Amino acid sequence: MVVLGAIMAMLDITVVNVALEDLIVEFDTTLTTMQWVATGYTLALATVIPLSGWAADRFGAKRVYLAAVFLFMVGSALAGTAWSAGALILFRGLQGLGGGMLLPLSMTILTSAAGPGRIGRVMAVLGIAIGLGPVLGPVLGGWLVDDVSWRAIFFVNVPVGVLTLILGARVLPMDERRPTEKLDVPGLLLLSPGLAALIYGLAQVPSREGLAHPEVYLPAGCGAVLVIAFLWHAARTPRALIDLKLFGNRNFSLAAAIMALFMITFFGTMLLFPLYFQQVRAETALNAGLLVAPQGIGAMIMMPLAGRLVDRGYAARTVPLGIVVIAAAMVLLTQLTDTTPYWAIGVALFVMGFGMGMVGMPNMSIALKSLKPQDVAHASTSLTIIQQVAASVGTAMLSVILFNEIKDRQSLATPIADAYASTFVWALVFLILSLIPALLRLRGTKTPA
C-alpha cells in the first residue's frame, strides 16, 4: 500500500514529458514556458525532501505520509483542471510538495515495519516504484495523451490517491511521535533553496547544450554554495536537518557513495535511450517508451529475488555482481549503430534491468539495516537527496557529453548514432566507478551482510 504513493511520485517525474507538445498547443505558449511543468515539479520535490526526516519524527511517519498523499492528490486534481500554463505550473508545484515526501517516508515506514530480518524483501517492493517510474512514465503518459486527454495524466492520480488514503488510514500502524523535535530553521533556509537552485541549474544543461550558459552556472553555482554552507552548519549543529554523523557508519557511507555513482549512470542512460530511439530511429515518444520497457521488466523479475538474497545475508555480494551484470550489457550498447536490431537492444536493456534489480534496493537495505531505528527517518531523507542530486548530475553530464560527441562527428556518415555509442562508453566508466565502494564494502564483510 505504501508503495502506491511512491509509484505516483516517481511516475509523475517523467509522465508529463510526452504531453509537452499538446500542452503548448492547448495553452498557445512556448516550449520554454511549458518545460516549467516538469521543472516546477522537480524543484518542489527538492525543496520539501529535506523536511521529511524532521516531519516524520515530529508528527509521526503515518500522519505525514497521509498528509503528503492528500496534498499530491489535490495538486493532481487541480492540475487536471488547469485553465492556463501558469495555473498548471503552480499546481504541478503543489503536486511536488506532496510527492517530495512520499519516497523518503515510504522508506521509513517500510523499514520500521519490516525489521532487520525482512528488510530486503520489503524494500524490493519499493525498488519497483523507484526503478519503474522513469521507465513507465513516458509509456503511460503517451497512451493517455494519445487515446484520452492530457488532463488524464493528472486525473489518474486521484482514484489511486483515494485508495492509498483509505488503505493507509486502516492498515498503517500509528508510530511514535517526538513532540519536542525542533526544526533546524537555518539548515532548512540553506538546504532547500540550495538543492532547488542546484537542480534547476543542472536541469538547464540539455536545453543550453553545455555548462557555459548563465542559466546553468549561476543557479547551479549559487545552489552549490548554499549546500556547502549547509554542510558547514550541519557539522556544528546538534540535530541538524540532515544528521552528518550517519556518514560515520561505514556501511551507510559506502552505500551513499554507491548510490551517487550508480544513479548518475541510471538516470543518465534513461535520458539516452528515448533520445536514441527518437533521433536515430525516428520513433514516436510512445514507441520509444515501449522499446525501453524491457529494462523495467528485467528489474521487476530480479528485485524480489534480490530481496531474498539480502535477507539471507548476501547483500554485500549481490551489489557488485549486479554492477558487473549491468556493465556487461552496457558494453553491447557501446556498439550501437543506426541499424542495430531492436531485439539486440531489448536483450541488453533486459539484462541491464536485471542487474539494476541487484543494486538499487539491496544497497539501500544495507544502509538502513545498519542504523538504529531512531535514525532511519533522517537516513531516508539523506539517501533521497543523494538520489535526486545524482539524477540531475547524471542527466546534465551525459547531455553535455552527447552534445559534444555529436558536434565532433558532423563529418561522419552517421554522426548521431556514433555519438550515442561513444556516450555509452562514458556511462560505462561512471558505472565502473561505483564498483570501487561496492568492492570496498565486500572486502570489509567478514560474514554475509
pLDDT at 7 over 50: yes
Under the banding of pLDDT at 50, 70 and 90, the label for residue 345 is very high
Q: Across the chain, what does the average pLDDT equal? A: 81
Residue range 85-99: average pLDDT?
Answer: 89
Q: Which residue has the higher pLDDT, 113 or 279?
A: 279
Instruction: Enter the C-alpha cell of residue 397.
Output: 553530464
Q: Give backbone dihedrals phi and psi of 327, rounded to 5 degrees, phi first.
A: -60, -40
The rounded distance, in Å, linking the Cα atoms of 333 and 418 is 11
C-alpha distances (whole Å) from 243 to each of 64, 192, 257, 382, 383 are 20, 15, 16, 8, 12
The rounded distance, in Å, linking the Cα atoms of 14 and 191 is 24
Q: What is the pLDDT of residue 413?
A: 55
Q: Which residues, 6+ apart, have CB-to-CB distance to 66 below 8 Å?
A: 165, 168, 169, 172
pLDDT at 259 over 50: yes
Q: What is the pLDDT of residue 81?
A: 92
Percent of the chain with pLDDT over 90: 12
Domains of the chain: 1-183 (1.20.1250.20), 245-449 (1.20.1250.20)
pLDDT at 449 over 50: no
Q: Which residue has the higher pLDDT, 446 or 110?
A: 110
Residue range 93-117: average pLDDT?
Answer: 78
Neighbours of 287 (CB within 10 A): 17
Where is mean pLDDT largest: 206-215, 341-350, 406-415? 341-350
Q: What is the pLDDT of residue 132?
A: 66
Task: Indicate the burial class of 209 (C-beta count within 10 angstroms; 0-12, 13-18, 19 or more).
Answer: middle
Asked if 398 and 268 touch (Cβ cutoff 8 Å), the reply is yes
Q: What is the pLDDT of residue 73?
A: 92
Helix axes of 2-14 and 157-171: crossing angle, nearest 10 degrees? 150
Residue range 74-103: average pLDDT?
Answer: 89
Under the banding of pLDDT at 50, 70 and 90, the label for residue 91 is very high
Q: What is the pLDDT of residue 241?
A: 77
Task: Indicate the burial class of 96 (C-beta count within 10 angstroms; 0-12, 13-18, 19 or more).
Answer: buried
Residue range 227-256: average pLDDT?
Answer: 85
Buried b (16+ CB within 10 A) or exposed e, 178-192: eeebeebeebbebbb
Cell 488510514 belongs to: 169
pLDDT at 142 over 60: yes
The 10s digit of each residue's pLDDT in 281-326 is 888 767 877 888 888 888 888 888 887 887 777 777 888 999 999 9
Q: Which residues, 6+ apart, have CB-to-CB distance to 379 below 8 Å?
A: 53, 243, 246, 252, 367, 368, 371
pLDDT at 260 over 70: yes
Residue range 171-190: average pLDDT?
Answer: 76
Q: What is the pLDDT of residue 2?
A: 67
